[in-house]
Structure 1
Amino acid sequence: MRLSTPVRAIATGCLLFWAGLAHARTTFAEAEGGKIAYETCGAGDRTIVLLHDGILHAAAYDDVWPLLCQRFKVVRYDRRGYGATPAATAPFASVDDLAAVMKAAGVTRATLVGSSAGSGIAVDFALAHPEAVDGLVLAGPWVSGFSPSAGFIARSLKLVALIKLGDLEGAVKDPYILSPTADAERARVVALLKANPQNLSGAGRKLERAGPDAKDHLGEIRAPTLVLVGALDIGDVKTQAKAVADAVPGAQLETVPALGHFMYLEKPKAFADRVAAFVDGHPQGAASAGL
């Protein structure tokens, strides 16, 4: 059976896309006192950089990035001491690491998509390098300068205790991370952590140089900004998400129903669709043009 020209074109495009994705390989960007593992996929005139949270590494986006790579160039990387990136042995700055990855990947400007602590890095980078940021998508943001509540600290201490006991299954039962029925996703988080115990060790990350608190400078951000927060996430994150959205000029705040902190793990297509719609809705250079 012969395929029609349009069908052949679509089929060829799909094959080329998946072939390119299959050949995506880990590369290392030279950074201050070390190297950063990163991957790229996709093509196009718009770029998205994915920044992971403080527990998982870039593999947390495994189901999101192939969807985004169908239309955009996408970069993801492991921060110091996570995944394939060695722990730091000398002082470093996460903002500089992101700049190094973008340079190595041939990216001059991008939409930054950050989860939790990754959102904090995205915000810090937008303040330090506004000319390189087309937009910000902050999922369950944790930005420097905000103080955790007593309840958040108690919960964190409980999780740390469970992790030290080796009870990862117990730790990921935390009700704020994933929805109550997300058993497969919980098992996946446990598997990722067991395969990458360095993610939880904190090795070398104490050498990170802290910059100025972003909280006091959020009003200076000019990049279009979308803040996402799961309806099931912990109160501190919800409060911070609203505060960030209120402080960043023109920012949108969306509460995602029935999901927790790792919304992109549980509903990757919905997350990718939100990100793609945001990128489509804001032209490249919108921040510098004052749009």
Structure 2
Amino acid sequence: MLHHIDQGAGRPVVLLHGGALDHRLWAPQIAALTRTHRVIAPDLRGHGASPTPTAPFRHVDDVAALLRDLDLGPTTVAGISLGATVAVDLALEAPELVSGLVVSGAGAGGAEFRDPATLELLARWAASEQARDRALWTEIFLEISFGVGRPLDDVAPDMVAHVRRMTDDTLDHHVPDGMPVLPTPVADAAARSRELTLPVLAIVGLLDSPDHRRMAREVARDVVEIEDAAHYPNLEAPDEFTVALLTFLRE
């Protein structure tokens, strides 16, 4: 079973973190939501305190197994970045477990990147991974996290340190040598996501890359835009993000 926190009481909500991070990404929302909801926030496989993958796997299968183990569903699932993609996958592969989706920083798996600046940065990121240049990989990851072309000096230092700490922990514990075992994608997720009929809210940081904003919007019925926030608006504008999430949960 995935390592997870299970706190609070009331209607359940599941929170899925971004790649290279863990459930601590959701710290501001966990503190707020547990006053009125039961909050389940797992560490995906290869992240946090969950197992390191050693064979082909799918994140969606792990999350579905956890929710069934906890006898949950249907429930609202919120995801950021990789977590958003896993949330959409869950609605596609196990619709009986999901009553609504909140996505931020991504959408369905398999969506294409088109923005030239983002494509160039992703190419440099892939090259740093192939070269096993951990320092460069992390710096590019932080640039993606806080806005392509945005100086990190413009971001609160404690926020950058928080994301860097989670990233370092992931790399230390799950990628100490060589390349990680990557998850198997869900087949045709982008095309299938167009047929989703459940409520979907996108919370979009307007400083995020154009592609990430578009991917979230493509699967959403409603969109909340947050200024002065990039890939993790829940950290950069926690109050605004939490209000949008709670409003969706109420409605």
Q: Give the TM-score of the pair, scaled to structure 1.
A: 0.74
In structure 2, the residue matched to 1:99 is 64
Residue 238 (1) aligns with residue 213 (2): yes
The answer to whether the Cα contact below 8 Å between 2:194 and 2:219 also exists between their aligned partners in 1 is no
In structure 2, the residue matched to 1:90 is 55
Give the secondary-structure state (helix, strand or coil) at the position aligned to 2:194.
Answer: helix
In structure 2, the residue matched to 1:223 is 198
1:173 & 1:119 partners in 2: Cα distance? 19
Aligned match for 2:147, one of 161, 164, 176: 176
In structure 1, the residue matched to 2:226 is 256
* CA RMSD of superposed structures (Å): 2.4
In structure 1, the residue matched to 2:88 is 123
1:124 & 1:112 partners in 2: Cα distance? 11
Give the secondary-structure state (helix, strand or coil) at the position aligned to 1:108.
Answer: coil
Residue 157 (1) aligns with residue 132 (2): no
Gaps of 5+ in 2: none
Percent identical residues = 28
Give the secondary-structure state (helix, strand or coil) at the position aligned to 1:166.
Answer: helix
Residue 47 (1) aligns with residue 17 (2): no
Question: 1:187 is matched by which residue type in structure 2?
Answer: A
Q: What does 1:29-68 correspond to in 2, within 5 Å?
A: 29=1, 36-44=2-10, 46-68=11-33
Question: 1:252 is matched by which residue type in structure 2?
Answer: D
Q: Give the TM-score of the pair, scaled to structure 2.
A: 0.85
Give the secondary-structure state (helix, strand or coil) at the position aligned to 1:49.
Answer: strand
**Displacement of 1:88 after TM fit?**
1.4
1:216 & 1:165 partners in 2: Cα distance? 34
Question: 1:164 is matched by which residue type in structure 2?
Answer: D
Cα offsets for 1:53-74 (capped at 9, x unmatched): 1121111112211211110011
| Structure label with greater radius of gyration | 1
Question: 2:106 is matched by which residue type in structure 1?
Answer: P
Question: 2:133 is matched by which residue type in structure 1?
Answer: K
1:199 & 1:122 partners in 2: Cα distance? 24
**Displacement of 1:142 after TM fit?**
3.7
Gaps of 5+ in 1: 1-28, 30-35, 246-250, 282-291
Give the secondary-structure state (helix, strand or coil) at the position aligned to 1:54.
Answer: coil
The answer to whether the Cα contact below 8 Å between 2:15 and 2:78 also exists between their aligned partners in 1 is yes
1:171 & 1:117 partners in 2: Cα distance? 13
2:172 & 2:192 partners in 1: Cα distance? 32
Question: 2:124 is matched by which residue type in structure 1?
Answer: K
The answer to whether the Cα contact below 8 Å between 1:83 and 1:198 also exists between their aligned partners in 2 is no
The answer to whether the Cα contact below 8 Å between 2:203 and 2:223 also exists between their aligned partners in 1 is yes
2:246 & 2:25 partners in 1: Cα distance? 18
**Displacement of 1:198 after TM fit?**
4.4
